[in-house]
Protein backbone atom coordinates (compact mmCIF):
# COMPACT_ATOMS: atom_id res chain seq x y z
CA UNK A 1 0.00 0.00 0.00
CA UNK A 2 1.47 3.33 -1.04
CA UNK A 3 0.57 5.85 1.68
CA UNK A 4 2.98 8.69 2.54
CA UNK A 5 4.43 8.33 6.06
CA UNK A 6 1.94 9.21 8.77
CA UNK A 7 3.31 10.83 11.93
CA UNK A 8 1.42 12.77 14.61
CA UNK A 9 2.67 13.83 18.00
CA UNK A 10 1.40 17.35 18.69
CA UNK A 11 2.68 19.43 21.60
CA UNK A 12 -0.52 19.07 23.62
CA UNK A 13 -0.14 15.28 23.68
CA UNK A 14 3.50 15.46 24.79
CA UNK A 15 2.39 17.85 27.54
CA UNK A 16 -0.53 15.61 28.51
CA UNK A 17 1.79 12.65 28.85
CA UNK A 18 4.03 14.58 31.22
CA UNK A 19 1.01 15.61 33.33
CA UNK A 20 -0.27 12.08 33.27
CA UNK A 21 2.99 10.68 34.60
CA UNK A 22 2.67 13.04 37.57
CA UNK A 23 -0.95 12.05 38.33
CA UNK A 24 -0.36 8.35 37.91
CA UNK A 25 0.72 7.77 41.50
CA UNK A 26 -2.76 8.88 42.65
CA UNK A 27 -4.49 6.29 40.46
CA UNK A 28 -5.61 2.80 41.62
CA UNK A 29 -7.20 1.58 38.43
CA UNK A 30 -6.46 2.19 34.76
CA UNK A 31 -9.48 1.89 32.49
CA UNK A 32 -7.82 1.28 29.16
CA UNK A 33 -10.15 2.25 26.30
CA UNK A 34 -9.71 0.89 22.78
CA UNK A 35 -11.66 1.27 19.54
CA UNK A 36 -13.59 -1.88 18.52
CA UNK A 37 -12.83 -1.24 14.83
CA UNK A 38 -9.08 -1.25 15.49
CA UNK A 39 -8.35 -2.96 18.83
CA UNK A 40 -4.71 -3.56 17.92
CA UNK A 41 -3.83 -0.13 16.51
CA UNK A 42 -5.32 1.46 19.66
CA UNK A 43 -3.13 -0.60 21.96
CA UNK A 44 -0.37 1.59 23.42
CA UNK A 45 3.12 0.01 23.47
CA UNK A 46 3.84 1.65 26.84
CA UNK A 47 0.69 0.36 28.53
CA UNK A 48 2.51 -2.07 30.82
CA UNK A 49 4.51 0.87 32.17
CA UNK A 50 1.33 2.88 32.88
CA UNK A 51 -0.51 0.05 34.63
CA UNK A 52 2.38 -1.28 36.65
CA UNK A 53 1.30 -1.71 40.29
CA UNK A 54 -2.31 -0.83 39.45
CA UNK A 55 -5.51 -2.61 38.61
CA UNK A 56 -6.37 -2.75 34.90
CA UNK A 57 -9.70 -2.88 33.09
CA UNK A 58 -9.77 -3.38 29.33
CA UNK A 59 -12.68 -1.58 27.67
CA UNK A 60 -13.42 -1.95 23.98
CA UNK A 61 -15.63 0.95 23.04
CA UNK A 62 -17.64 1.66 19.86
CA UNK A 63 -19.07 -1.84 19.91
CA UNK A 64 -22.03 -0.49 17.92
CA UNK A 65 -19.65 0.22 15.04
CA UNK A 66 -18.64 -3.43 14.40
CA UNK A 67 -20.61 -6.57 13.61
CA UNK A 68 -21.69 -9.01 16.32
CA UNK A 69 -19.45 -11.59 14.65
CA UNK A 70 -16.39 -9.31 14.86
CA UNK A 71 -17.10 -8.70 18.54
CA UNK A 72 -17.30 -12.45 19.15
CA UNK A 73 -14.04 -13.12 17.29
CA UNK A 74 -12.19 -10.44 19.22
CA UNK A 75 -13.74 -11.39 22.52
CA UNK A 76 -12.48 -14.95 22.12
CA UNK A 77 -9.07 -13.69 20.99
CA UNK A 78 -8.68 -11.45 24.06
CA UNK A 79 -9.88 -14.17 26.44
CA UNK A 80 -7.40 -16.62 24.87
CA UNK A 81 -4.71 -14.06 25.73
CA UNK A 82 -5.89 -14.02 29.37
CA UNK A 83 -7.77 -10.67 29.19
CA UNK A 84 -11.37 -9.93 30.08
CA UNK A 85 -12.66 -7.25 27.70
CA UNK A 86 -15.67 -5.07 28.57
CA UNK A 87 -17.56 -4.05 25.45
CA UNK A 88 -19.22 -0.65 25.49
CA UNK A 89 -21.11 1.79 23.30
CA UNK A 90 -20.54 5.11 25.01
CA UNK A 91 -22.95 6.81 22.64
CA UNK A 92 -26.07 4.96 23.84
CA UNK A 93 -24.63 3.60 27.09
CA UNK A 94 -24.77 -0.12 26.23
CA UNK A 95 -22.39 -2.17 28.38
CA UNK A 96 -21.45 0.86 30.49
CA UNK A 97 -23.22 -0.35 33.65
CA UNK A 98 -21.46 -3.73 33.47
CA UNK A 99 -18.13 -1.98 33.01
CA UNK A 100 -18.83 0.27 36.00
CA UNK A 101 -19.72 -2.75 38.16
CA UNK A 102 -16.39 -4.34 37.18
CA UNK A 103 -14.52 -1.15 38.10
CA UNK A 104 -16.33 -0.90 41.45
CA UNK A 105 -15.57 -4.59 42.15
CA UNK A 106 -11.88 -3.85 41.60
CA UNK A 107 -12.25 -0.90 43.98
CA UNK A 108 -13.84 -3.14 46.60
CA UNK A 109 -10.88 -5.56 46.37
CA UNK A 110 -8.59 -2.62 46.91
CA UNK A 111 -10.57 -1.35 49.90
CA UNK A 112 -10.57 -4.80 51.50
CA UNK A 113 -6.79 -4.67 51.37
CA UNK A 114 -6.76 -1.14 52.80
CA UNK A 115 -9.06 -2.14 55.67
CA UNK A 116 -6.97 -5.23 56.44
CA UNK A 117 -3.98 -2.88 56.81
CA UNK A 118 -5.93 -0.65 59.20
CA UNK A 119 -6.61 2.07 56.63
CA UNK A 120 -9.95 3.68 55.76
CA UNK A 121 -11.80 2.71 52.60
CA UNK A 122 -12.19 5.38 49.91
CA UNK A 123 -13.57 5.73 46.36
CA UNK A 124 -11.47 3.93 43.74
CA UNK A 125 -9.45 6.38 41.65
CA UNK A 126 -9.72 5.42 38.03
CA UNK A 127 -8.00 6.91 35.00
CA UNK A 128 -9.44 6.51 31.50
CA UNK A 129 -6.46 5.95 29.25
CA UNK A 130 -6.38 5.51 25.51
CA UNK A 131 -5.69 6.92 22.07
CA UNK A 132 -7.35 10.19 21.01
CA UNK A 133 -11.01 9.95 19.99
CA UNK A 134 -11.64 6.38 21.20
CA UNK A 135 -14.47 7.68 23.40
CA UNK A 136 -12.90 8.18 26.86
CA UNK A 137 -14.79 11.38 27.64
CA UNK A 138 -18.05 10.01 26.19
CA UNK A 139 -17.66 7.03 28.51
CA UNK A 140 -17.23 9.32 31.53
CA UNK A 141 -20.31 11.32 30.52
CA UNK A 142 -22.27 8.07 30.22
CA UNK A 143 -21.09 6.90 33.64
CA UNK A 144 -22.12 10.24 35.15
CA UNK A 145 -25.40 10.21 33.17
CA UNK A 146 -24.77 13.82 32.15
CA UNK A 147 -22.29 15.88 30.20
CA UNK A 148 -19.49 16.65 32.63
CA UNK A 149 -16.55 16.66 30.22
CA UNK A 150 -16.11 17.82 26.63
CA UNK A 151 -16.56 15.09 23.99
CA UNK A 152 -16.67 15.64 20.22
CA UNK A 153 -16.05 14.01 16.86
CA UNK A 154 -12.34 14.71 16.39
CA UNK A 155 -9.00 13.76 17.91
CA UNK A 156 -7.54 15.92 20.66
CA UNK A 157 -10.71 17.28 22.29
CA UNK A 158 -9.66 16.78 25.92
CA UNK A 159 -6.67 19.03 26.54
CA UNK A 160 -6.06 18.71 30.28
CA UNK A 161 -6.56 16.23 33.10
CA UNK A 162 -9.77 16.53 35.07
CA UNK A 163 -11.09 14.58 38.09
CA UNK A 164 -14.80 13.81 38.26
CA UNK A 165 -16.41 12.33 41.39
CA UNK A 166 -19.07 9.69 40.90
CA UNK A 167 -21.06 9.09 44.07
CA UNK A 168 -18.81 7.69 46.76
CA UNK A 169 -17.69 4.69 44.74
CA UNK A 170 -15.37 5.99 42.12
CA UNK A 171 -13.35 9.07 41.16
CA UNK A 172 -12.69 9.28 37.45
CA UNK A 173 -9.79 11.06 35.82
CA UNK A 174 -10.45 12.17 32.25
CA UNK A 175 -7.20 12.59 30.35
CA UNK A 176 -6.29 13.67 26.83
CA UNK A 177 -5.75 10.85 24.37
CA UNK A 178 -2.16 9.68 24.20
CA UNK A 179 -0.22 7.96 21.49
CA UNK A 180 3.39 6.89 20.95
CA UNK A 181 5.79 9.65 19.83
CA UNK A 182 6.63 7.60 16.73
CA UNK A 183 4.16 5.58 14.71
CA UNK A 184 6.52 2.81 13.60
CA UNK A 185 3.79 0.50 12.37
CA UNK A 186 2.45 2.41 9.38
CA UNK A 187 -0.45 0.03 8.77
CA UNK A 188 -1.61 0.78 12.33
CA UNK A 189 -1.06 4.51 11.66
CA UNK A 190 -3.30 4.24 8.59
CA UNK A 191 -6.02 2.60 10.72
CA UNK A 192 -5.71 5.41 13.27
CA UNK A 193 -6.04 8.00 10.50
CA UNK A 194 -9.11 6.29 9.03
CA UNK A 195 -10.79 6.13 12.44
CA UNK A 196 -10.06 9.82 13.07
CA UNK A 197 -7.77 9.06 16.00
CA UNK A 198 -5.00 11.35 14.75
CA UNK A 199 -5.20 14.93 13.49
CA UNK A 200 -6.01 15.35 9.82
CA UNK A 201 -2.91 17.47 9.21
CA UNK A 202 -0.91 14.24 9.62
CA UNK A 203 -2.09 12.62 6.40
CA UNK A 204 -3.20 13.17 2.85
CA UNK A 205 -6.94 12.46 2.62
CA UNK A 206 -6.77 11.14 -0.95
CA UNK A 207 -4.02 8.64 -0.16
CA UNK A 208 -5.87 7.27 2.84
CA UNK A 209 -9.13 7.07 0.88
CA UNK A 210 -7.41 4.96 -1.78
CA UNK A 211 -5.83 2.82 0.94
CA UNK A 212 -9.28 2.43 2.51
CA UNK A 213 -10.73 1.17 -0.79
CA UNK A 214 -7.97 -1.40 -0.98
CA UNK A 215 -8.66 -2.54 2.61
CA UNK A 216 -12.39 -2.68 1.80
CA UNK A 217 -11.66 -4.99 -1.13
CA UNK A 218 -9.26 -7.17 0.85
CA UNK A 219 -11.72 -7.58 3.71
CA UNK A 220 -14.58 -8.59 1.42
CA UNK A 221 -14.05 -12.33 1.87
CA UNK A 222 -13.45 -12.15 5.64
CA UNK A 223 -16.23 -13.31 7.91
CA UNK A 224 -17.24 -10.65 10.44
CA UNK A 225 -15.48 -7.78 8.64
CA UNK A 226 -18.86 -6.23 7.90
CA UNK A 227 -18.19 -5.60 4.21
CA UNK A 228 -21.19 -5.31 1.94
CA UNK A 229 -20.19 -4.28 -1.61
CA UNK A 230 -23.83 -3.43 -2.36
CA UNK A 231 -23.64 -0.53 0.09
CA UNK A 232 -20.85 0.97 -2.00
CA UNK A 233 -22.98 0.67 -5.13
CA UNK A 234 -26.02 2.09 -3.33
CA UNK A 235 -24.10 5.11 -2.07
CA UNK A 236 -21.91 5.93 -5.04
CA UNK A 237 -23.68 4.18 -7.93
CA UNK A 238 -20.59 2.31 -9.10
CA UNK A 239 -19.43 -1.20 -8.26
CA UNK A 240 -15.78 -1.62 -7.50
CA UNK A 241 -15.60 -4.70 -9.74
CA UNK A 242 -16.27 -2.48 -12.73
CA UNK A 243 -12.96 -0.77 -12.29
CA UNK A 244 -10.76 -2.66 -9.87
CA UNK A 245 -9.67 -5.46 -12.24
CA UNK A 246 -6.10 -4.20 -12.21
CA UNK A 247 -6.46 -3.10 -8.55
CA UNK A 248 -6.55 0.52 -9.69
CA UNK A 249 -8.47 2.09 -6.86
CA UNK A 250 -7.54 5.62 -7.86
CA UNK A 251 -9.37 5.05 -11.13
CA UNK A 252 -12.48 4.05 -9.22
CA UNK A 253 -12.11 7.15 -7.03
CA UNK A 254 -11.83 9.33 -10.13
CA UNK A 255 -14.88 7.66 -11.69
CA UNK A 256 -17.07 8.25 -8.61
CA UNK A 257 -15.80 11.81 -8.19
CA UNK A 258 -16.87 12.52 -11.75
CA UNK A 259 -20.37 11.43 -10.73
CA UNK A 260 -20.57 13.16 -7.36
CA UNK A 261 -18.02 15.93 -6.89
CA UNK A 262 -17.44 17.29 -10.41
CA UNK A 263 -14.21 15.32 -10.64
CA UNK A 264 -12.83 16.71 -7.36
CA UNK A 265 -11.09 13.62 -5.99
CA UNK A 266 -10.12 15.25 -2.67
CA UNK A 267 -13.70 16.15 -1.88
CA UNK A 268 -14.81 12.66 -2.88
CA UNK A 269 -12.09 11.12 -0.69
CA UNK A 270 -13.32 13.15 2.28
CA UNK A 271 -16.86 12.00 1.62
CA UNK A 272 -15.89 8.31 1.47
CA UNK A 273 -13.88 8.56 4.70
CA UNK A 274 -16.71 10.44 6.45
CA UNK A 275 -19.17 7.79 5.28
CA UNK A 276 -16.94 5.07 6.73
CA UNK A 277 -16.60 6.95 10.03
CA UNK A 278 -20.36 7.38 10.25
CA UNK A 279 -20.87 3.63 9.49
CA UNK A 280 -22.78 4.50 6.31
CA UNK A 281 -20.67 1.90 4.48
CA UNK A 282 -21.50 -0.82 7.00
CA UNK A 283 -20.15 -1.98 10.35
CA UNK A 284 -16.60 -2.35 9.12
CA UNK A 285 -13.82 -3.86 11.23
CA UNK A 286 -10.51 -2.67 9.85
CA UNK A 287 -8.82 -5.28 12.02
CA UNK A 288 -9.79 -8.87 12.78
CA UNK A 289 -7.89 -11.47 14.78
CA UNK A 290 -5.47 -13.49 12.60
N1 LIG B 1 -21.09 5.40 17.72
C2 LIG B 1 -20.33 5.65 18.80
N3 LIG B 1 -19.78 6.86 18.97
C4 LIG B 1 -19.03 7.08 20.06
C5 LIG B 1 -18.81 6.06 21.02
N6 LIG B 1 -18.00 6.57 21.99
C7 LIG B 1 -17.75 7.85 21.66
N8 LIG B 1 -18.37 8.16 20.50
C9 LIG B 1 -18.31 9.47 19.81
O10 LIG B 1 -16.97 9.67 19.40
C11 LIG B 1 -16.58 11.02 19.51
C12 LIG B 1 -15.30 11.12 20.32
O13 LIG B 1 -15.55 10.84 21.67
P14 LIG B 1 -14.72 11.49 22.86
O15 LIG B 1 -15.36 11.00 24.11
O16 LIG B 1 -14.55 12.96 22.69
O17 LIG B 1 -13.30 10.77 22.67
P18 LIG B 1 -12.01 10.93 23.58
O19 LIG B 1 -11.39 9.58 23.66
O20 LIG B 1 -12.33 11.59 24.87
O21 LIG B 1 -11.11 11.87 22.66
P22 LIG B 1 -9.89 12.88 23.08
O23 LIG B 1 -10.36 13.73 24.20
O24 LIG B 1 -9.64 13.62 21.82
O25 LIG B 1 -8.74 12.00 23.45
C26 LIG B 1 -17.78 11.74 20.12
O27 LIG B 1 -18.48 12.36 19.07
C28 LIG B 1 -18.59 10.64 20.75
O29 LIG B 1 -19.98 10.93 20.77
C30 LIG B 1 -19.41 4.77 20.81
O31 LIG B 1 -19.25 3.82 21.58
N32 LIG B 1 -20.15 4.63 19.66
MG1 LIG C 1 -11.66 13.30 25.70
Number of compact structural domains in the chain: 2
* Residue 2 confidence (pLDDT): 66
Q: Are 76 and 212 members of one domain?
A: no
Taking residues 6-35, what's their average pLDDT? Answer: 92
Going by alpha carbons, the residue nearest to atom 13 of ligand 1 is 135
Q: Determine, yes or no, domain membership for 284.
A: no
Please state the separation of Cα 222 from the chain's center in Å.
21
* Residue 53 confidence (pLDDT): 92
Taking residues 216-226, what's their average pLDDT? Answer: 92
Query: Is the shortest distance between the CB of 177 and ligand 1 below 6 Å?
Result: yes
What residue numbers bound the domain in which 268 lies?
204-277
SS3 86: strand
Q: Are 21 and 138 members of one domain?
A: yes
Q: Are 39 and 168 members of one domain?
A: yes
Q: How confident is the model at residue 232 (pLDDT cuts 50, 70, 90)?
A: confident
Extract the runs of DSSP E, i.e. beta strands, from 97-242: 124-130, 162-166, 170-174
Q: Residue 128 above 90 pLDDT?
A: yes
Phi, psi of 47 (to 5 degrees): -55, -45
What's the burial of 145, exposed, middle or buried (CB within 10 Å: 0-12/13-18/19+)?
A: exposed
- From 151, 177, 178, the mutation candidate for ligand 1 (largest count of ligand atoms within 8 A of CB) is 151
238-282 pLDDT per residue, tens: 877 665 555 689 999 999 999 999 999 999 999 999 999 999 999
Share of the chain above pLDDT 70, in %: 97
Predicted model pTM: 0.94
How far is residue 160 from each of residues 102, 174, 214, 279, measured CA to CA in Å? 26, 8, 37, 30
Query: Is the shortest distance between the CB of 196 and ligand 1 below 6 Å?
Result: no
- Nearest atom in ligand 1 to the alpha carbon of residue 151 is 16
Q: Are 224 and 170 members of one domain?
A: no
Query: Is the shortest distance between the CB of 58 and ligand 1 below 6 Å?
Result: no
- From 16, 135, 198, the mutation candidate for ligand 1 (largest count of ligand atoms within 8 A of CB) is 135
How far is residue 90 from each of residues 36, 107, 283, measured CA to CA in Å? 12, 22, 16
Query: Is the shortest distance between the CB of 148 and ligand 1 below 6 Å?
Result: no
Q: Determine, yes or no, domain membership for 183.
A: no
Q: Are 92 and 168 members of one domain?
A: yes
Q: Are 101 and 224 members of one domain?
A: no
Amino acid sequence: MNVPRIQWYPGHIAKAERQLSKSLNKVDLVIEVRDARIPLATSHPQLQKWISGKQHLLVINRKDMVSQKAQELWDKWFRDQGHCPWWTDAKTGKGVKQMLDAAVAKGNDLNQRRISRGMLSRPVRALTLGFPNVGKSALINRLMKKKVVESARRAGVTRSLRWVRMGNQIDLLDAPGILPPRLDDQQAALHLALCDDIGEAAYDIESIAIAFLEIFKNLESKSGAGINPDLLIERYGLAMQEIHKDQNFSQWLLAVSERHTSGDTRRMSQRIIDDFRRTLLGLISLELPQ
